[in-house]
Structure 1
Amino acid sequence: MTNPAENRITVGELAARFLESCGVRAAFGVISIHNMPILDAFHRRQKIRFVSSRGEAGACNMADAYARVTGTLGAFVTSTGTGAGNAAGAMVEALTAGTPLLHLTGQIESPFLDRDLGYIHEHPAQLAMLQSVGKAAFRIRNAETALATLREAHRLAFTAPCGPVSIEIPIDIQKQLMDLPEDLHPLPVRPVQPEPGGVQALADRLAKAKRPMLWLGGGARGARGAVERFVKMGWGVVTTVQGRGIVPEDHPACLGSYNLQPPSEKLYQTCDAMLVVGSRLRSNETLSYKLKLPQPLYRIDANPLAHNRGYTSDYFVQGDAEATLNALADLLEGRMNVDTALVEDVQKARAQAAASLEDALGAYATLKNEVGAQLGKAIWWVRDITLSNSMWGNRAPVLDHPRAGVHALGGGIGQGLAMGIGTAVANAEHELGRRTVVLSGDGGFMLNVGELACAVQEKADFTLILMNDRRYGVIRNIQDDIYGSRHAYVDLHTPDFAAFCASLGVKHLLLEKPADTAAVLQQAAGLRGPVVVEVDMNAWGPFQAKFAGPILKKD
């Protein structure tokens, strides 16, 4: 006979089992007295790998990167009050990037909630805070509604535009017993299907175009097969930084993410149509909306609010990128007569933009080129906000996978190390077979440097290229450009990174001069676990050109 006790579980265990049913293989967080029923269930069941981060911000960044590279749900667990608050900045990043995350957090005992008693660990406005930094936030108030709340949170996280959803569960509710539900699966989230008449109208507008361009954003990452149909029709392709790799960046028709350089803008003026798919046309990729894009400009987006944002849409179709592009290709294949010179012109524009980038880098062009040559093409390219990323990391090395690029889209520093850990864990748990490479500056690295201990404990496999100039390089350049070279608050005291890494058991390689780049990166490629390659930028010297913040276009 079945023991009735075997069919009784806590709400904390329900949360763990629900994540399992969502396909989550690794979750991240910090254990505390206000989440122990959840984490105890992880531990007992051994179905989900739990990564103990050193801070809640790191946990969220790890889950964010995990979700980005796998295309599945990211999950992280925090404590209540300060613990949940620590994750706020990282949740803003996930919201900006449109990453589907589920954040489980604790709360104090239900009888004392919302009574302004000064109860230990209470954050009286925690739910409002979480709502402000995520897509939505819920409180589970009893066992009876727990599964419904989890399912709705998952549905919202995956409903376009995707984003992080928080659920706070008071500790007494986490411990509450309930019957094990027969079905724990999440609700299906179906792609937004375009209205056929709208697709037909868009096809009619595009059919006569001779030099059409596709502009692909992060919302099109699942549409590679559909995009390939347009490439076969002769279309040119350009991507945002978030859309890199949807078309392999060494494809002749791909401009890569050289989307705002003068040769690209000149190319756009020879085109007679642009179709923007899954992109918000963000300010720093459009010269603050002054980049001259081809006209007419058409848009496809699952979010209806994208219509006329930033740029006026000559026609807009709401729909999932893959479904809408496939429906559009069905109507255009065999109907278009695209100029065969377009692809050649795309190649020329890309070559000119890449050459200009190479000239701006000076000695650092060696590093850019050797990353691809020594670490391989099959990489996860994870970047923090740092001078080197702005100069070259956002456009090189060549990426060949729609999810290969992971970066701090919202512009916050200090998130790259944790994102690298999350990516490495995802690569291992999902057997994705790629190398994780992280690009970080010394200032950002120090912001969450404690997560390097987490990387050692988890045996996270990655190579971190640490660009050390002992300062906030971009800010210093802005001060040179605008503030009369008054270098206030930008010079940084940094540790002896070799000694610091040794104290943690992290492999450290020093790269003091460009001539050693190939050998050092080749050595790093042969090592396992976390590896730090420190580039001594003061020994290398300055870039050939100065980067002083996002490029602006003068009227």
Structure 2
Amino acid sequence: MTTSTDSRITVGELAARFLEACGVRAAFGVISIHNMPILDAFHRRGEVRFVSARGEAGACNMADAYARVTGGLGVCVTSTGTGCGNAAGAMVEAMTAGTPLLHLTGQIESPYLDRDLGYIHEHPAQLAMLQAVGKAAFRIRNAETALATLREAVRLAFTAPCGPVSIEIPIDIQKQLLPLPADLHPLELAPVRPGASALNGLAERLRGARRPLLWLGGGARGARAAVERFLKMGWGVVTSVQGRGIVPEDHPANLGSYNLQPPAEALYQSCDAMLVVGSRLRSNETLSYKLKLPRALYRIDANALAHNRGYASDYFVQGDASDTLHALADLLEGRMQVDPELVGDVQRARAEAAGTLEAALGPYATLKNEIGRQLGTSIWWVRDITLSNSMWGNRAPVLDHPRAGVHALGGGIGQGLAMGIGTAIADAVHGLGRRTVVLAGDGGFMLNVGELACAVQERADLLVILMNDSQYGVIRNIQDDIYGGRHCYVDLHNPDFEPFCASLGVQHLSLRDPADTRDVLARAATLRGPVVVEVDMKRWGPFAAKFAGPILKKD
């Protein structure tokens, strides 16, 4: 670490020191003339590893994934104008996923701002654009207010519902000197604690429940210990896709994310209470809000606006998931008589749903199962939006960690590779000890394929399972289902991935036959650095069932 003997530092160095105080170990972005004071401070100080992405969209996806697996602050640094705009789509994804992320971007020199001069690199409405794709956006107008702005931005990023916050810093302000502040720590953010009367009211309604279920969403990822107390009382658990792994998915009381299959819906109808914790009950996981949930539906959420969204809440408590569940368990332990048959019914519903999924996969069931056998459960499971993800990746393999699942919650393709890099970097700098595995389709992979060069340069330890069918498979199925089989704009021209990977120094393994799956994945498990296992779907053949977009339920 290099320290300055001068008591005055630039605003760029202030930003770097503040991020260090926030516990940030890695940041992601693209260097430009409009962010060099910040990145030069990263370089000189040597405390924050800066990952040079090939594009701002990828950088923001990397920062998003870093935050998801660490539970800390993700940081993306971009240029002004076009460079900043490139990150907008990834900012929308971070907003959708509720990721605490700080986006630092540049701006042209202050004297020329907002004057409609056509000044090079200026985006006159940049701040408005950033406000539209995140929780908030600020401009630092002088050195004296820089630290206050940084602190407030991070506070907002971590305030429920969490999300990305941008700060625009004109390049002349980044270079300004100011005295080194005595205290650079972020503002303390206390969890939202429920009131005693609200908790008592919820406990009173739940004490008589004989067949209660917890529905856990991403907002409950820090509540495993509290959830385990409910499991000991005999409760069952089902999760959203974002809540996978809060309870290990091989736990007998865990339905997993088989949350909208017919066996799950039948189970719900046998239950007399469901407590939804930290979940928005999203459309694609509730049959567009037509999934029949237990009639007594209660909610816990740190966001007060979650009350009655999508589904009416019979009772709502605002509070942090972990604190509120612990306090609720204090009021319920020893006071409930849960049906001892409930856990067995959960197991049967899961087995039936998983069996239906397995039957729909055809030859790809081998791939699903061997990923679990050869790579184990100690993985970060990163999924791009692709046919295989929709068919099985969102629900298998078994996850045992509340942050093990990372995917594009907003449904945009092409973000998985970058998210895998951010995940692998997070694992490396924080010593988390898990292998990053990315499930991607060829269409999404090619969208941001340049980030594969970033993965090599950064020595990111990730394994990509590349499902190559040379088409947009889901769109083709929709065309079959709705558009009379008229196939247009879905066929894709791809490179020969083996020499392509070789040209970048990426290890490539071909998987042309389901019979070779065990051997190929066992070999891949021994390799380190970026590895691509290409599954030739043309040779493997089709799935046994077609997936043609989110399942809809008829009235």
Measured against the shorter chain, the TM-score band is over 0.9
- Once the two structures are superposed, the pairs formed by residues 329-340 of structure 1 within 5 Å of their partners are 329-340=329-340
Query: Match of 1:148, as an amino acid?
Result: A
Partner Cα separation in structure 1 for residue 333 and residue 4 of structure 2: 61
Partner Cα separation in structure 2 for residue 308 and residue 398 of structure 1: 32
Matching residue of 1:448: 448
SS in 2 for 1:34: coil
Partner Cα separation in structure 1 for residue 6 and residue 442 of structure 2: 52
- Once the two structures are superposed, the pairs formed by residues 372-451 of structure 1 within 5 Å of their partners are 372-451=372-451
Q: Tell me the alpha carbon deviations over residues 337-365 of structure 1, each in whole angstroms, 9 at most, x when there is no partner.
A: 00000000000000000000000000000
Q: Tell me the alpha carbon deviations over residues 113-164 of structure 1, each in whole angstroms, 9 at most, x when there is no partner.
A: 0000000000000000000000100000000000000000000000000000
Partner Cα separation in structure 1 for residue 346 and residue 375 of structure 2: 27
Matching residue of 2:360: 360
Matching residue of 2:203: 203
- Once the two structures are superposed, the pairs formed by residues 69-108 of structure 1 within 5 Å of their partners are 69-108=69-108
Query: Match of 2:554, as an amino acid?
Result: K
Matching residue of 1:137: 137
Query: Match of 2:11, as an amino acid?
Result: V
Query: Match of 1:338, as an amino acid?
Result: V
1:295, distance to aligned residue in structure 2 (A):
1.4
Query: Match of 1:422, as an amino acid?
Result: G
Partner Cα separation in structure 2 for residue 87 and residue 285 of structure 1: 27
Matching residue of 1:59: 59
Matching residue of 2:243: 243
The answer to whether structure 1 residue 469 and structure 2 residue 477 are counterparts is: no
1:6, distance to aligned residue in structure 2 (A):
1.2
SS in 2 for 1:42: helix
Matching residue of 2:121: 121
SS in 1 for 2:102: strand
| Alignment length (residue pairs) | 553
1:5, distance to aligned residue in structure 2 (A):
6.0
- Once the two structures are superposed, the pairs formed by residues 342-357 of structure 1 within 5 Å of their partners are 342-357=342-357
Matching residue of 1:323: 323
SS in 2 for 1:6: coil
Relative distance call for 1:547 and 1:4 in structure 2 (3 A) is closer
Matching residue of 1:150: 150
SS in 2 for 1:242: helix
Partner Cα separation in structure 2 for residue 482 and residue 470 of structure 1: 21
Matching residue of 2:161: 161
Partner Cα separation in structure 1 for residue 377 and residue 39 of structure 2: 37
Matching residue of 1:522: 522
Query: Match of 2:448, as an amino acid?
Result: N
Partner Cα separation in structure 1 for residue 316 and residue 5 of structure 2: 56
Partner Cα separation in structure 2 for residue 388 and residue 191 of structure 1: 38
Partner Cα separation in structure 2 for residue 232 and residue 404 of structure 1: 24
Partner Cα separation in structure 1 for residue 496 and residue 215 of structure 2: 44
Q: Tell me the alpha carbon deviations over residues 193-228 of structure 1, each in whole angstroms, 9 at most, x when there is no partner.
A: 001100000000000000000000000000000000
Give the percent of matched residue pairs that are identical in Structure 1 and Structure 2: 83
SS in 2 for 1:348: helix
Relative distance call for 1:520 and 1:402 in structure 2 (3 A) is same
TM-score, with structure 1 as normaliser: 0.99
Partner Cα separation in structure 2 for residue 296 and residue 152 of structure 1: 39
Matching residue of 1:492: 492
Partner Cα separation in structure 2 for residue 466 and residue 4 of structure 1: 47
Q: Tell me the alpha carbon deviations over residues 458-513 of structure 1, each in whole angstroms, 9 at most, x when there is no partner.
A: 00001100000000000000000000010010000000000100000000000001
Partner Cα separation in structure 1 for residue 493 and residue 485 of structure 2: 20
Partner Cα separation in structure 2 for residue 475 and residue 127 of structure 1: 35
- Once the two structures are superposed, the pairs formed by residues 182-261 of structure 1 within 5 Å of their partners are 182-261=182-261
Query: Match of 1:488, as an amino acid?
Result: C
1:180, distance to aligned residue in structure 2 (A):
0.2
Partner Cα separation in structure 2 for residue 84 and residue 327 of structure 1: 44
Matching residue of 2:481: 481
Q: Which runs of 5+ in 1 are unaligned?
A: none
Partner Cα separation in structure 1 for residue 372 and residue 410 of structure 2: 26
- Once the two structures are superposed, the pairs formed by residues 162-181 of structure 1 within 5 Å of their partners are 162-181=162-181
The answer to whether structure 1 residue 35 and structure 2 residue 30 are counterparts is: no
Moved >6 Å (runs of 4+): none
Query: Match of 2:28, as an amino acid?
Result: F
Partner Cα separation in structure 1 for residue 394 and residue 445 of structure 2: 18
Matching residue of 2:280: 280
1:379, distance to aligned residue in structure 2 (A):
0.5
Query: Match of 2:106, as an amino acid?
Result: G
Partner Cα separation in structure 2 for residue 439 and residue 156 of structure 1: 32
Q: Tell me the alpha carbon deviations over residues 369-418 of structure 1, each in whole angstroms, 9 at most, x when there is no partner.
A: 00010011100000000000000000000000000000000000000000
Partner Cα separation in structure 2 for residue 125 and residue 110 of structure 1: 15
Matching residue of 1:292: 292
Partner Cα separation in structure 2 for residue 208 and residue 138 of structure 1: 50
Query: Match of 2:283, as an amino acid?
Result: S
TM-score, with structure 2 as normaliser: 0.99
Partner Cα separation in structure 2 for residue 249 and residue 439 of structure 1: 19
Partner Cα separation in structure 2 for residue 478 and residue 33 of structure 1: 45
Q: Tell me the alpha carbon deviations over residues 174-205 of structure 1, each in whole angstroms, 9 at most, x when there is no partner.
A: 00000000000000011100011000000000
Partner Cα separation in structure 1 for residue 6 and residue 235 of structure 2: 59
1:4, distance to aligned residue in structure 2 (A):
10
SS in 1 for 2:241: coil
SS in 1 for 2:31: coil
- Once the two structures are superposed, the pairs formed by residues 524-539 of structure 1 within 5 Å of their partners are 524-539=524-539
SS in 1 for 2:103: strand
1:59, distance to aligned residue in structure 2 (A):
0.3
Partner Cα separation in structure 1 for residue 227 and residue 29 of structure 2: 37
The alignment's C-alpha RMSD in Å is 0.8
Q: Which runs of 5+ in 2 are unaligned?
A: none
SS in 2 for 1:121: coil
SS in 1 for 2:242: coil
Partner Cα separation in structure 1 for residue 325 and residue 339 of structure 2: 21
1:268, distance to aligned residue in structure 2 (A):
0.4
Partner Cα separation in structure 2 for residue 277 and residue 348 of structure 1: 24
Partner Cα separation in structure 1 for residue 167 and residue 60 of structure 2: 14
Partner Cα separation in structure 2 for residue 490 and residue 183 of structure 1: 55
Matching residue of 1:306: 306
Q: Tell me the alpha carbon deviations over residues 416-468 of structure 1, each in whole angstroms, 9 at most, x when there is no partner.
A: 00000000000000000011000000000000000000000000001100000
Partner Cα separation in structure 2 for residue 550 and residue 435 of structure 1: 30
1:58, distance to aligned residue in structure 2 (A):
0.3
1:235, distance to aligned residue in structure 2 (A):
0.2
